[in-house]
Amino acid sequence: MAAPGIILVARGDDDPLVQASLDTVTRNLQSLRPDLQVALGLLKSSAPTVQEAAEQLVASGAEEIAMVPMDLASATDHSPVLSEARDNVNEQHPGLSIVISRPIGPAVELLNVLDAKLREELHRVNAVEVDSLVLACPDGGDVRGASLLARRTRQWSTHHKLPVQLAQNDVTGRATAQAIGALRAQGRRHIAVGSLFLTSGPVFRAHHQAAVRAGALAVTSPITEDPRVIELILARYAFAAMRLLDVDPHEE
């Protein structure tokens, strides 16, 4: 039997920069694993929807599908909208086996990605001194994700021997500005910002603008193209695909 198809699931967003970032991730995954049937499915009103992605894979002959939420802030839970979409697909294709993996989440490997991007950005702006860091990400994660983000903040601080503030952002970017303000209140002046964002959408742009206005020395770009993102997606996929061997593959 062929390997299960994979649907990369992301928040719905009509922003063309978000779509371009997600298309890049999809292409990179397909390039690395040409043996897999890969589709992108967006939640809410954006196209392609999860249902459309499933139809694409079914039309290509897929009998099993693993859905991978591309959520960097959640560790265990996924959106109820995704469960509803999965159920709708099953109504249309009752013989199709579908499983939803854990989200990508704030995996510890992503700190290495931020380190690499931070070095590049500091070199680009010719910065020679950093005395504090901000770890910025989207808000809206689950309880376990929030706990892991707090842990990643401590780990990053220990690794660099610098104070690190966590900033979980909505579309206002206010959290990043507050984190930089808190560091300045401690007497820190050379502040760099690591952006734990998958795409360069509205939330990232608000965070980036807030960081620049607050005087950040350097702000990293999203982690879209880093190969370690693909490795994490494949790890979540592989673990979820094993569950398709269970008696009840639809159980979460």
pLDDT in tens, 187-227: 999 999 999 999 999 999 999 999 999 999 999 999 999 99
pLDDT-above-90 percentage for the chain: 86
How far apart CA 248 and CA 252 sit, in angstroms, is: 9
- Supply the CATH number for residue 46's domain: 3.40.50.1400
Q: Hunting for tokens 């993102």 — which residue is that?
A: 229
Burial class of residue 3, CB neighbours in 10 A (0-12, 13-18, 19+): middle
Q: Which residue has the higher pLDDT, 13 or 223?
A: 223
- Give residues with Cβ within 8 angstroms of 184, minimum separation 6: 191, 215
Classify residue 147 by its DSSP letter: H
Residue 248 lies in a domain: no
Based on the domain organization, do 139 and 190 belong to the same domain?
A: yes
Mean pLDDT of 52-73: 95
**pTM summary value:** 0.91
Check pLDDT > 60 for residue 251: no
- Give residues with Cβ within 8 angstroms of 49, minimum separation 6: 12, 41, 42, 43, 85
| Full domain range(s) for residue 181 | 109-219
Rg value, the chain, Cα: 19
Mean pLDDT of 72-94: 93
How far apart CA 2 and CA 243 sit, in angstroms, is: 15
How many domains, the chain?
2
